[in-house]
Structure 1
Amino acid sequence: MVGTVQKVSRDAYANIWIDIASGNEVLPIHAVLDRNSPTSITPVKQGLAVAIDCIGDGMQSGSPMLARCIIVER
């Protein structure tokens, strides 16, 4: 998918999460970067357009969840 990064955060397990803008400002798309991918160590910043390849991981509170994401283009 292609989108604009709204927020970058890290969880208690050192996973990097990015929120990607969706059609609904309140419910962004949540994507966790694959820790084993070399692209996961490259800085991702708010406002940056990115293309990511992920596996769907269900929904949480109405927001799509994506897992094992690899950044394929900035």
Structure 2
Amino acid sequence: MSGRSGCAVGQLSGRTPRLRVAPAPNVTYLVHGEPEAAAALRDRIDRSLGWTAVVPRSGERVLVR
């Protein structure tokens, strides 16, 4: 992976302890970066935090409450 998106995946492990103490969101939407990097970050969030993370399709709309 290259660029900022790949960097975000690598930095997640350093941020995981802070995120672990935060209440888990209902869903985490990853809307920035290359599709492959976003999918990797989604998988890492799922494995590391047990949170539901989604990479929406291009043009997909979601209702955020």
Q: TM-score band, normalised by the shorter chain?
A: under 0.3
Taking structure 2 as the reference length, the TM-score comes to 0.26
Greater strand share, structure number? 1
More helix by share: 2
Q: For the pair shown, which has the larger CA radius of gyration, 1 or 2?
A: 2
